[in-house]
Amino acid sequence: MRNLLLYTFLGLAVAAGAYVSFELFGPKAPLPKYAQAGIGGDFKLTSVEGEINLSDYKGEIVLIYFGFMSCPDVCPTSMGVMGTAIRQLDDAQQQKVRGLFISVDPQRDTPAELHAYTQYFSDRIFGATGTKEQIDAIVKQYGAYYSFVEMEDSALGYTVDHSARIYLIDPNGQLADILAHDINPVELHEKLAAYL
């Protein structure tokens, strides 16, 4: 009986050691290349529904775009491409994709206005913004860029230079791809479908 207990204890100890060893030193699933480089990651912003985190959308593909509502052409083009690509998915697939238009101009773009703006392009595209500190942190996280430019002769007063890219976040919340703002919607649809 004593031997049986001893062998059982030794067996459990060996199994526990092997498990710990595997967890510490065993093969790991490779991280996406952007994550390896420290690009991307979770963030906190404000939408019409209140505070949102990227991690809230785990299990969905998220297409992030940095822009502002007064942007005359590039932003609407990007939203149009995004909406067209999403509409090419079937209804169930569409529910697993979310566009996220992050306004870098919180002074002018309120969450409510952003909601109305983004929903015009697709009911799966949503708007969010935040404080300057939050936006700066996210822009840095994603290797993006924005800068305010004074426009004395314009009623707008200023415009915003900004990155014109679509950041594709996979269902695990990892940055998986960085796409041109004017990517062909068919190509974007294919990229989305690859994760569905």
Residues contributing to the site for other proteins (CB under 8 A):
33-34, 36-37, 39, 67, 71, 74-75, 142-145, 147, 149, 151, 159, 161-165, 168, 177-184, 187-188, 191
We find the least distance from the C-beta atom of residue 122 to other proteins, in angstroms, to be 19
CA separation for the pair 195, 60 (Å, rounded)? 9
CA separation for the pair 192, 171 (Å, rounded)? 11
We find the least distance from the C-beta atom of residue 160 to other proteins, in angstroms, to be 8
Cβ proximity to other proteins, 48 vs 77, nearer residue: 77
Cβ proximity to other proteins, 52 vs 144, nearer residue: 144
CA separation for the pair 136, 132 (Å, rounded)? 6
Q: Are 170 and 40 in contact (CB under 8 A)?
A: no
We find the least distance from the C-beta atom of residue 73 to other proteins, in angstroms, to be 8
Cβ proximity to other proteins, 128 vs 164, nearer residue: 164
Cβ proximity to other proteins, 39 vs 100, nearer residue: 39
For residue 9, how far is the Cα from the chain centroid?
48
Q: Provide CB contacts within 8 A for 167, sequence distance 6+.
A: 40, 63, 64, 65, 142, 144, 175, 177, 178, 179
We find the least distance from the C-beta atom of residue 25 to other proteins, in angstroms, to be 26
